[in-house]
């Protein structure tokens, strides 16, 4: 069995958390602002902005970002 060169054995870096929905072009900061300023539930803000509705890749990071803002 062949072994990989040492450079290929280095573990991959942890991907950075997303800070926006690329599909809808809206930042998580804007989502949080709308929730706080308008008192609108997350699901409604997402429906209005399109955030998290296309590929859904941003949803886990969006949930974490919003949870970290809670007191």
Question: Does residue 66 lie in a domain region?
Answer: yes
Task: Label residue 66 by pLDDT band (50, 70, 90).
Answer: very high
How far is CA 31 from each of CA 13, 36, 51, rounded to the nearest angstrom? 28, 9, 8
Question: Does residue 3 lie in a domain region?
Answer: no
Q: Which of residues 4 and 53 earns the better pLDDT score?
A: 53
| pLDDT over 70 (residue 11) | no
| pLDDT over 60 (residue 7) | no
Question: Does residue 33 lie in a domain region?
Answer: yes
Q: Does the predicted model carry a pTM greater than 0.85?
A: no
Which 8-state DSSP code applies to residue 40? -
Question: Does residue 13 lie in a domain region?
Answer: no
Summarised one tens digit per residue, pLDDT across range 22-65 is 999 999 999 999 999 999 999 999 999 999 999 999 999 999 99
Tally the domains of the chain: 1
Domain hosting 55: range is: 25-71
Question: Does residue 18 lie in a domain region?
Answer: no
């Amino acid at each position: 069995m062949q072994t990989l060169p040492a450079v290929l054995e280095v573990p991959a870096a942890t991907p950075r958390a997303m800070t926006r929905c690329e599909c809808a072009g809206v930042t998580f900061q804007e989502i949080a602002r709308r929730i706080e300023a308008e008192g609108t539930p997350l699901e409604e803000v997402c429906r209005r902005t399109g955030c998290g509705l296309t590929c859904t890749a941003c949803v886990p990071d969006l949930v974490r970002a919003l949870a970290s803002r809670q007191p």
